[in-house]
Amino acid sequence: MKEIKLTDIELINVVILILGSIVTIVIMRDFKHVFSFAVASAIMTLNFRLLRKIIEDGFLKSTINKKDLFIKLPLKFLALIALVVIIIIYGDIDVTFFLIGLSTVFLSIIINQVSIFFRPATKRSQNNGT
């Protein structure tokens, strides 16, 4: 199976953010729903990008940087939780569309893997080097 390219997942996530916002505004015709979806999807895109950067900086080097592991990762997690709590408490959001927006990274990973499955076998074998 092809190695997952994280930039592909980020790109798919941005496309889902844009298309999802357009579909939400067309179907629901309410800014509250679009805002809920778009903010949650943007948070997840940012979260995915920051987590990728922390992992690349901390674990893909020859030595593991303990500062990244014990300081940056928990701080990022706490900042994410604080951001979500602030948006839920003070933002005028629809919880259903907010939760749908939070699931966009998962949907991006599924779309990426399904697209790999449906590529022609010759192209898949070229990508894998076999």
Tens digits of residue pLDDT in 6-56: 788 889 999 999 999 999 999 998 899 999 999 999 999 988 888 888 777
Q: Please give the backbone phi and psi of residue 118, each rounded to the nearest 5 degrees, phi first.
A: -90, 0
CA dihedral over 73, 111, 102, 91, signed as positive or negative: positive
pTM score > 0.85 for this model? no
Region of poorest pLDDT, from 30-39, 58-67, 113-122: 58-67
CA dihedral over 17, 103, 32, 91, signed as positive or negative: negative
Mean pLDDT of the chain: 83
26 membership: H or E segment, kind and range:
helix 6-28
- The rounded distance, in Å, linking the Cα atoms of 57 and 54 is 5
